[in-house]
Amino acid sequence: MNVMAQSDLACSSQDDDERWMRQALALADRAEREYDEIPVGAILVGPEGGLLAEGWNFNIASHDPSAHAEIMAMREGGRRLGNHRLIGCTLYVTLEPCAMCAMAMVHARIARVVFAAGDPKTGACGSVFDLPADPRHNHRVQVQGGLLAAEASLRLTNYFRVKRGKPLLPG
């Protein structure tokens, strides 16, 4: 492959990443608007590059502590594939995954996770812990963070400001 083609491929991949993350942000908005959930959305893209599954936070409404956006997307993806392994899949999520979600990705053999906002309190993909890269696991997940982070962070900040009766920050 020549240098131009590699550059075009990288550009296309970045464009795809942004497109999928924007879709995850729309799911985060839906979680907040329709279910009064913390606005986190996730998109699972299959190995061939097409939409496999989507999810959003649903733990408050469902009274299920494991119903994070990532888990919801991976559950749907597993059902659609008929397999608990999600080999070659990419997970896009608007907030850095927690330890539960990061380990679920490792167990599912997710190839790559792309997240927007980092989580300095419970992030497990590089902020507080780095579970996907831990050499003790028999699978490692490639991690990319910070894509559209400001947009995702503002949604989360404003969600909690509303809950505390504070005015929204401008976008």
Active site residues: 70
| Amino acid identity for residue 130 in this structure | D
The answer to whether 44 and 89 are in contact (CB under 8 A) is yes
Q: How far apart are CA 9 and CA 49, in angstroms?
A: 13
Q: In this structure, what token pair is assigned to residue 86?
A: 């999600």
Cβ atoms 26, 39 nearer than 8 A = no
Residue 117, phi then psi, degrees to nearest 5: -80, 135
Q: Is 62 helix (H, G, I), strand (E, B) or coil?
A: helix
The sign of the dihedral angle between the CA atoms of 31, 36, 38, 39 is positive
